[in-house]
Amino acid sequence: MQDRIIGTTMPVLEITLDPGEAIFSESGELSWMTQSIVMQTSTQMGGGGGVGGVFKRALGGSSIFMSQYSAQGGPGMVAFAARLPGQIFPLDVAPQPGYGYLAHRHAFVAGVGGVQLSIGFQQHLGAGFFGGDGFRLQKITGQGRAWCELSGEIITYDLRPGEFLRVHPGHVGLFQDTVNFTITTVKGIKNKIFGGDGIFLAQLTGPGRVWLQSLPLQKLAQSLSEFSPGQAAEAGAAGAAGGAITGGVMRGILGG
């Protein structure tokens, strides 16, 4: 099995498989594949089948269905394109401290058969956060290689024991399972009401490595929302109302 990352701001993960080798991803993540790749979709991958495994994956933000890609009759290639500007990178997962990971729920791209996905953290942060869908982290454990995607630029910090960072939850990309994770609130009533950054922060306490992403999906969605047809219509209506008021005032002044 060989992998390579192609591109820069919108990279593509390309994985070449020999006959008998296989990887899996969430259903619907495929971008393209060669003719010798066979795809099989089921609930039996990424943490085992049965109600328990499926339930754990669903709680972690993963799809219930997983797709396995295997090479048959000769080598083959399968590719996954980034969903947002950012980076795709590999992780070596093992059943020992520091080689298990917690990641935001859209980080996982693909993994070999020994990698498992489950719920790592879940907390409801109110309707204003993440579309009212709460904050969830996937837990990536097991044995083998996994590939993850983070959006924007990636900034890493190696935290010493007891050292911590407070981070806007949307910027949390990935961290080793030796890092302690909690949700805290911003101190001070003025900060909570007028701070403009929300009232919740994630606290990441070492030891361990933390990967932060500079482009949270929800912040991108908020930035783009003003260009949606509904927002444009509201802006146009507001502009027309403002123009009518201004015109009326000017006519009154000139008429007077």
Q: Are the C-beta atoms of residues 200 and 171 closer than 8 Å to each other?
A: no
Interval 95-111 mean pLDDT = 94
| pLDDT for position 230 | 62
Residue with tokens 């593509």: 12
Domain 2-231: homologous superfamily in CATH = Mitochondrial biogenesis AIM24 (3.60.160.10)
Q: Which of 120, 156, 154 is nearest to 140 (CA)?
A: 120
Question: pLDDT-derived band of residue 44, with 50, 70 and 90 as boundaries?
Answer: low
| pLDDT for position 145 | 97
The distance from CA 172 to its chain's CA centroid, rounded to whole angstroms, is: 9
Query: Which whole-number Å values give the CA distances from 125 to 12, 169, 200, 241, in the listed order?
Result: 33, 10, 8, 36
Question: pLDDT-derived band of residue 42, with 50, 70 and 90 as boundaries?
Answer: confident
Phi then psi for residue 169, to 5 deg, are: -55, -35
Q: What percent of the chain has pLDDT over 70?
A: 67
Name the residue ranges covered by the structural domains of the chain: 2-231
User: What average pLDDT does the chain have?
Assistant: 80
How far is Cα 233 from Cα 215, in angstroms, rounded to an integer? 27
pLDDT over threshold 80, residue 253: no
How far is Cα 42 from Cα 115, in angstroms, rounded to an integer? 16
Question: pLDDT-derived band of residue 62, with 50, 70 and 90 as boundaries?
Answer: low
How far is Cα 85 from Cα 156, in angstroms, rounded to an integer? 18
Interval 113-134 mean pLDDT = 68
